[in-house]
Amino acid sequence: IARNTAADAYAELVAEGWLTARQGSGTTVAERAEPVPPTRARRSSRPPRPAHDLRQGQPDAAAFPRTAWLAAGRRALTAAPNEAFGPGDPQGRRELREVLADYLARARGVRTDPDRIVVCSGFAHALRLLFDGPRAVLPARTAGSLAVEGYGLAFHRGLLAAAGATTRPLPLDEHGARVGGLAEDPEIRTALLTPAHQFPTGGPLHPGRRAAVVDWARGRGGLVLEDDYDGEFRYDRQPVGALQGLDPERVVYLGTASKSLSPALRLGWMVLPDHLVDRVLAAKGEREAWASALDQLTLAEFIDSGGYDRHVRRMRRRYRDRRDRLVGALAEHAPHIEVTGIAAGLHAVLRLAPGTERSVLKAAAYRGLVLDGLADYRHPLLAAEAMPATDGLVVGYATPPDHAYPAALEALCAILPPPL
């Protein structure tokens, strides 16, 4: 090659810092500190993955029906009209709303039609549409206090608090939330409940209380927000029907695909009283900004083809087996531990002796076992005289893949305290 070409190459390497050239000393490789690989830097900022994962609220990610979902997506995209690839309708694809209306009526006893369903990206998104922002349907600062169950997700309470809502806890007992307290506080206009399976303590809302809370909403001119987070997973008898069926004009039904399929889909739905539909759509805006229209079409086809029903039946059998194995392991290794909330859902509550929850959680962390304590779910304003605090563990038996479940159960049994 020409001498000038070599000289230009050397000059470029010197300019980029790879070489060092000094007059009279020749050209040498530049001394540089060894770079830290980007992957190593990223990993160092993340907490290590737990050895055993029994966190609640997560389905078995390995059980997602990939083949059936891909087939449904292929059929849905082939049949989709051209306009489906344009700006999204904030109410959601008509195809999905139609199959949801049929499915929810058949599986959950919901009374609705497609025009009263609004698709959203999940339960938290639904709460934000209702309470947060300048176009909120129920502006938190003017809608009065919001009643919530005495035990529930702190994330939801935090979201409501950030929107300006004041939450008032309802004590719980073996029949669910004690809704009689709603009438005693004239400031409460809205109640957020999990009637099919109280979260996290377990158990459905008593039939008498279901009727009472609907009567309260009618008399107060208020609303009940029904979080049907895992209503399809009942194991020992047919699922309890949705509270919304008792009065579609006083109950807002909120459901998602997060537990039945995957939280990665970011798909949920609101079944609304007729007078709230336009207000929710105004809060969403003129175009769909959250839920993918293509995922909506795929879910519609998955439900319509029967794939969703087959998947739910398969997962119900799998999770029931997981529950039975948990109960069996506890009966063998820790028979003194009471297990509750196992008739439905994806988790169980293990009752502990008073004063032992914190030490048990420390022992779990030492063994690389991740799970939640019951105290994390207690509303900070729930008075001890209204409902004494109870020590316990919230064990998500759906989370581990099949091959990891036996070791997770062994680790769980190992950290449980002996009988007093």
Q: How far apart are CA 47 and CA 210, in angstroms?
A: 43
In a domain, 43, yes or no: no
Spatial CB neighbours of 124, under 8 Å, sequence gap ≥ 6: 155, 156, 159
Identify the bridge partners of residue 105 per DSSP, sorted by sequence position.
none
H or E segment and range at residue 269: strand 268-271
How many other CB atoms sit within 10 Å of the CB of residue 196?
27
User: Are 387 and 321 members of one domain?
Assistant: yes
Range of the domain at 316: 52-62+309-415
Q: Which of 288, 305, 322 is the last residue of a domain?
A: 305
What's the whole-number mean pLDDT along residues 78-100? Answer: 95
In a domain, 42, yes or no: no
pLDDT for res 153: 94
Query: What's the CA angle centered on 415, arms 412 and 419, to 5 degrees?
Result: 110
Identify the bridge partners of residue 147 per DSSP, sorted by sequence position.
168, 191
User: Are 227 and 268 members of one domain?
Assistant: yes
Binning pLDDT at 50, 70 and 90, where does residue 236 land? Answer: confident
Q: Which tens digits make up the pLDDT trace of 240-255?
A: 899 999 999 999 999 9
- Checking if the pLDDT of 24 tops 50, the result is yes
Q: Of all residues in the chain, what percent carry a pLDDT higher than 70?
A: 92
pLDDT for res 378: 97
Tokens, residue 348: 């169980």
Q: Which tens digits make up the pLDDT trace of 371-404?
A: 999 999 999 999 999 999 999 999 999 999 999 9
User: Are 248 and 339 members of one domain?
Assistant: no
Pairing of strands 369-370, 26-29: unpaired
Question: SS3 sequence, 71-138?
Answer: HHHHHHHHHCCHHHHCCCCCCCCHHHHHHHHHHHHHHHCCCCCHHHEEEECCHHHHHHHHHCCCCCCC
Give the three-state DSSP class for 283: helix
User: Are 135 and 228 members of one domain?
Assistant: yes
Per-chain mean pLDDT for the chain: 90
pLDDT for res 68: 97
* pTM for this predicted structure: 0.86
pLDDT for res 41: 46
Spatial CB neighbours of 84, under 8 Å, sequence gap ≥ 6: 93, 293, 294, 297
In a domain, 38, yes or no: no
Give the closest residue to 320 by CA, choosing from 235, 409, 197, 232. 235
Give the closest residue to 10 by CA, choosing from 34, 28, 33. 28
User: Are 86 and 56 members of one domain?
Assistant: no
Domain of residue 331, CATH code: 3.90.1150.10
Q: What are phi and psi of 148, to 5 degrees?
A: -130, 165
Q: Which of 290, 305, 320 is the last residue of a domain?
A: 305
In a domain, 362, yes or no: yes
Binning pLDDT at 50, 70 and 90, where does residue 290 land? Answer: confident
| Gap between the terminal Cα atoms of the chain | 87
The count of C-alpha atoms lying within 13 angstroms of the C-alpha of 77, restricted to the half-sphere facing its C-beta, is 9
pLDDT for res 23: 63
Instruction: Name which of 23-32, 71-80, 164-173 the model is least confident about.
Output: 23-32
User: Are 391 and 321 members of one domain?
Assistant: yes
In a domain, 41, yes or no: no
In a domain, 194, yes or no: yes
pLDDT for res 14: 67
Q: Determine contact, residues 295/121, Cβ cutoff 8 Å.
A: no
In a domain, 198, yes or no: yes
Q: Which of 281, 305, 329 is the last residue of a domain?
A: 305
**In 139-276, where does DSSP find H-type helix?**
154-162, 207-220
User: Are 341 and 274 members of one domain?
Assistant: no
What's the whole-number mean pLDDT along residues 110-120? Answer: 97
pLDDT for res 18: 76
Spatial CB neighbours of 137, under 8 Å, sequence gap ≥ 6: 129, 130, 131, 276, 279, 280, 283
Spatial CB neighbours of 398, under 8 Å, sequence gap ≥ 6: 58, 59, 60, 319, 322, 346, 347
User: Are 282 and 385 members of one domain?
Assistant: no
User: Are 225 and 329 members of one domain?
Assistant: no
Spatial CB neighbours of 168, under 8 Å, sequence gap ≥ 6: 145, 146, 147, 148, 185, 188, 381
Tokens, residue 256: 């998602």
Identify the bridge partners of residue 170 per DSSP, sorted by sequence position.
149
What's the whole-number mean pLDDT along residues 137-148? Answer: 77
- Checking if the pLDDT of 420 tops 90, the result is no
Domain of residue 118, CATH code: 3.40.640.10
pLDDT for res 321: 96
User: Are 192 and 206 members of one domain?
Assistant: yes
Number of domains in the chain: 3
Beta strands in 197-256 (DSSP E): 223-227, 251-256
- C-alpha distances in Å from residue 243, one per residue of 38, 154, 218: 51, 23, 14
User: Are 212 and 72 members of one domain?
Assistant: yes
Pairing of strands 369-370, 372-373: unpaired
Instruction: Name which of 68-77, 283-292, 296-305 the model is least confident about.
Output: 283-292
Q: Of all residues in the chain, what percent carry a pLDDT higher than 90?
A: 75
Instruction: Name which of 42-56, 185-199, 338-352 the model is least confident about.
Output: 42-56
In a domain, 47, yes or no: no
What's the whole-number mean pLDDT along residues 356-378? Answer: 95
User: Are 78 and 165 members of one domain?
Assistant: yes
What's the whole-number mean pLDDT along residues 175-197? Answer: 93
